[in-house]
Amino acid sequence: MSRPFASWDVYKAIADPNRRIVLDLLARGEQPVSAILVRVDLTQPALSQHLKVLRDVGLVRQRRQGRERIYALNPKPLKEVSDWLHHYEEFWHKKLTALGEHLERKHGPRRSKEVSH
Amino acid sequence: MEKSIIIEQEYPYSPEEVWDALTDQAQISEWLMHGTFQPRVGAEFELYWSGNDASKGATKGKVMEMVKPRKLSYTWDWGTNGSLVTFFLEPTASGTKLRLEHTGFIEGKDEQVFQGASYGWNEKLPKISAAIAKRQKAVA
């Protein structure tokens, strides 16, 4: 249950347009499967399969209420995805600044006018 | 196509000079990482996470595209995740505008995932997160 989910799996899960529709629906609040089914262009088995994928990566949780299964969004894996982006955004900002410093060390300081193409 | 990370920066150096800094491992070691980069399409390489020491782990990559001195593209793999890094160089009045794009997926590794994911997910995520935050506030 508590295994850490690779971002790759989360990416794959949110890559599917139908699953994104389901996530959008659940972002507004928890929903019984029957309510999700009327909002998507999917058969019951196809929807069940998509919900299973979302469950497996931890993006949704289900609970039973009588005969209904209620689904709710779990935002944690989404945060992992944005953390990945944040991490690399910072990484590249630093590296591209370092690139500028490297160019200056290698070729000497230069003002724009001195550049010739 | 939408991209995950896009950063643009200008340098007062010519595209050729910037290109060499992007493709010559001796120079790459100076600003990015030590490793085994080779400026040849199809070449596989490693960039080391810690100094000039391969044993501490490395990002594995493969050169996908080279259009000297305009476009360089290579895969960037770490652990189970694949991604693609592309540099675009454009001559400007003041030197070179460098545009870096880092996407979360490798084209070809899972074409459908790449296209599906790059279509709108990074626009969608903030919306979903905002909806969650709003809902959590309403509950609290």
Amino acid A86: pLDDT: 74
Q: CATH number of the domain at B29, please.
A: 3.30.530.20
Complex-level ipTM: 0.72
Beta strands in chain B (DSSP E): 5-11, 44-50, 53-67, 71-78, 81-92, 95-103
User: Does A101 sit within 8 Å of B135, measured CB to CB?
Assistant: no
Exposed, middle or buried: residue A78 (CB in 10 Å: 0-12, 13-18, 19+)?
Answer: buried
pLDDT in tens, B50-102: 889 888 778 889 999 999 999 999 998 755 456 889 999 999 998 999 999 98
User: For every residue of A65-85, which 3-state class applies, written as one string?
Assistant: ECCEEEEEECCHHHHHHHHHH
Tell me which residue range forms the domain holding B24. 5-139
* Alpha-carbon Rg for chain A in angstroms: 23
Tens of pLDDT, residue by residue, chain A (117 residues): 333 345 667 777 877 788 988 998 998 899 999 999 999 999 999 999 999 999 999 999 999 999 999 999 998 887 777 676 777 888 899 999 999 999 999 999 987 555 555
Contacts of A114 in chain B (CB under 8 A): 12
Question: Which residues are within 8 A (CB) of A30 and not within 5 positions of it... i.e. 6 or more apart?
Answer: A70, A71, A72, A73
User: Does A93 sit within 8 Å of B32, measured CB to CB?
Assistant: no
pLDDT in tens, B5-53: 889 999 999 999 999 999 999 999 999 999 999 999 999 999 998 889 8
Is A24 within 8 Å of chain B by CB?
Answer: yes
Of A6, A79, A92, nearest to B100 by CB-CB distance is A92
Q: Which fold has domain A1-107?
A: Arc Repressor Mutant, subunit A (1.10.10)
Top pLDDT among A73 and B104 is at A73
Task: Please give the tally of structural domains in chain B.
Answer: 1
User: Does B30 sit within 8 Å of A112, measured CB to CB?
Assistant: no
Evaluate if pTM is beyond 0.90: no
Is A63 within 8 Å of chain B by CB?
Answer: no
